[in-house]
A and B are shown apart, each in its own frame.
Chain A
Amino acid sequence: MIRELKFLLSLWKTNLAAAMEYRATFITQSLGMILNDGVYFLVWVIFFDRFKDVRGWELADMFIVFGIAASAFGLVGMLFGNAFNLSEIITGGRLDYYLSLPRPTLLHALASRVVPSGFGDFLYGFISYAASGQFTWDGLARFVLAVLLAAAVFTAFLIIVQSLTFWMGTGGTFTMLAINAMLTFALYPITLFNQAARVVLFLVVPAAFMGAVPAGFVKAFSWSTLGLMTLAAAGFLAAAILLFHLGLRRYESGSAIQTEV
């Protein structure tokens, strides 16, 4: 465990050095992303200016939800950048490299890339929380914890969706669809959805754990919410690791899985 942690740390250090090699990219992408997120959020400012609330869901809630989702999304990009293109790695036969090294394959693959704009998203999440008008110091501590757990669920979801590539042979477009579904559902007021839809948002596309649930926790501490989030993170991660390793048995080093796209 300690050894793997040390390994991760040195990977991240190398990643950081690589990001600094392309610092112009790193800085412009991060600043650009903060601006991008800010402008995008204006849509909700305009919406709630006109309509006040959606079944009790208000602009302040939007600020927090948006903050959680942006920070979690950015954090995954910074620490596990390859979580967004695991599917390509599988179809391209590039898992060979990670399989040939004496380190946990999945962990190594995930942490071997940094999405340069991730830092911008991560930072913007905090700005969004600070701007919500509900900022408190212990709220900030809960925000950080909530972001970590949301990022864990998001990473697990990305792994699950892309592990299906082992069986389907292709997966790029499907992954894009799944990421969009996750983000969209996380960012829209959860009060919109009926019971059936909510079951989906907790169990199938676990967007509730990237939006409404952690947002509720940031607003007010509750043991049961914390328990639920921890359980979700652990459960989805376990499922993800299991599915990935089941799929790995079918991995054919890109020789049989030929991508047609």
Chain B
Amino acid sequence: MKKYFAVFNINLVNSLAYPAELVTRSLMILLFMWIFYQLWRVTFAASGSDVLNGLTLRDTMWYLLLAETLELGRPRLARVISQQVKDGSIAYLLNKPYDFLLYQLSSGLGESLPRMGMLFLLGGALTWVMAGPPPDLVNWPVALVALVGAWLLHFCFNALIGLAAFVSEEVAPYEWIYQKFTFVLGGMLIPLDFYPAWLQTVSKSLPFAYMMYGPARLFVQPDPALFAQIILGQFVWLSVLGGLLLLAYSRGLRRLAINGG
């Protein structure tokens, strides 16, 4: 376990090597939060009501902040693995005495944490100024638990797409489409509560709702029933996708073709 911590650690150090870069990269969230605020301010004002589908403008904004932090801060693992296959550096990763997937997990976490922290900090400051103070402190740990599950689901999806690079030349389109599914069915740009009922049902029977909506919604309203539903959903989908990932890894390894033979 110590070695995975060391991998996590060096990635952490690496992403902190250029603080200015980290900050510039995170400025993106200011742009998005500002424009979200314009959209929802106008939308709420036009409806003439303070609460829409159980959410206030402030709720909506903090919901979007958490979703956006996760989206912009999650590791771009699919891209990383396919790049490692393309340039052959995968060779070094496979001939070290560690589990390849656990390596990717710890290195992804080390890369992701400082970014998510910075995004949340910058985006949170702007959101506070525009829409009001953040949710109650008691909501935070609840959201955090769901955030871990959501992050792991993203990891599984990304790693699966990355492993596809073992056998296929081009994995970028899969990544785009997975991302757009988390946008639409995960409720990243619009809280799922605003969706028609049938679409909410669809979304909640797929993994996407547990990857975005879950932690974001719990952050603004930590309802126990919802918490149970989200955690259960994450558990089920993590088992399915995790199993699939292990299977894909052992299969994919046999078919790996590395450039520069």
A residues apposed to B, CB below 8 Å: 22, 24-25, 28-29, 31-33, 35-36, 39-40, 42-43, 46-47, 49-51, 54-55, 117, 173-174, 176-177, 180-181, 184-185, 188-189, 191-193, 260-261
Contact = CB atoms under 8 A, between A and B. Distances in A.
Interface of B: 18, 21, 24-25, 27-28, 31-32, 35, 38-39, 42-43, 46-47, 169-170, 172-174, 176-177, 180-181, 183-184, 189-190, 194-196, 199
Contacts of B181: 39
Contacts of A31: 173
A29 B172 contact: yes
Question: Per DSSP, are chain A's interface residues mostly helix, strand or loop, or mixed?
Answer: helix
15 contacts: A24-B170, A25-B169, A29-B172, A35-B177, A36-B177, A40-B184, A49-B196, A51-B43, A54-B39, A54-B42, A117-B172, A117-B173, A174-B24, A177-B27, A184-B35
A116 B167 CA distance: 20
Given A39-B180, A51-B43, A188 B173 contact: no
A24 B190 contact: no
Nearest to A22: B169
Say whether chain B's binding surface is mostly helix, strand, loop, or mixed: helix
A49 to B, nearest CB: 7
Contacts, number: 93
A193 B31 CA distance: 14
A42 B190 CA distance: 11
Given A36-B176, A46-B195, A51-B47, 16 more contacts: A22-B169, A24-B169, A25-B170, A33-B176, A35-B177, A39-B177, A42-B184, A43-B189, A46-B190, A47-B189, A50-B194, A54-B42, A180-B31, A185-B35, A192-B35, A260-B18
A40 B24 contact: no
A70 B68 CA distance: 23
B103 to A, nearest CB: 24
A177 B31 contact: yes
A54 B183 CA distance: 20
Contact of B190 (A29, A47, A54, A184): A47
